[in-house]
Amino acid sequence: MKQRFTVRRRIAVALTSAAAATALFTGTATAAPAAQPADPGAAASGLRAAAAGNADAEAAIERLIASPQDVAKGLGKPVLTLPGQIFPVPAYSDTGQGGEVLGQLYGSGVATNMNNEFRFGFFGGPGSIADNQTGAELNVVWYSLANGTSGITRLDQNNKIVPTVISTAPLNVGKGMVVGAVYGSLWHKVGPKPEDVVKSTIWMPSMGMVMG
């Protein structure tokens, strides 16, 4: 158990650093007010409705809902690490770290609200995020508990200054609590040659409640 805690703590520190690094997107962070835990039932229903008709999104949400402890954690008080808000539930993939100890812990979703531009993002490895994402697709399915809006949005904005972060284009989610889950696959560059890439496929989405 001690090993598990130590590795998790190291990864948590890395993710916090990544959230701070998103300041390099440029702009001024918008402070998010503290929030109360959300209703798991309403969040689950909203995410299911947002995912309806998209088989991959539906499967991702059902995997989350089948893990009630993770859902409760994801809907807890948001981590208000400005300018990024890290999703409390990390993603797990077929290339993640930790093996049997951590079950292939991969990375985490993150949200930013800078210059009144809200984006969902994702931080993960190995290596940096490849420029060419042909054959892979990373998405976030999201639902606003404040106004009922929802959607499925692709993370396709590769930031060249923060090479381990990819994000959506700016989104209008409104003000208030938003629950989201990042799922899908992503190419990572792990060497100097074009063929030095690794594809990571998420089997447990990263989920969190953040403030829009």
> What number is the average pLDDT over the span 3-7?
34
At 36, the pLDDT band (50, 70, 90 cuts) reads low
- pLDDT of 44-86, one tens digit each? 889 999 999 999 999 999 998 888 777 777 777 666 656 788 8
- Mean pLDDT to the nearest integer, 167-188: 93
Contact in structure between 179 and 208 (CB atoms under 8 Å) = yes
Give the pLDDT of residue 16: 41
Return the structure tokens found at 187: 């190419």
Separation CA 41–CA 39 (nearest Å)? 5
Q: How confident is the model at residue 30 (pLDDT cuts 50, 70, 90)?
A: very low
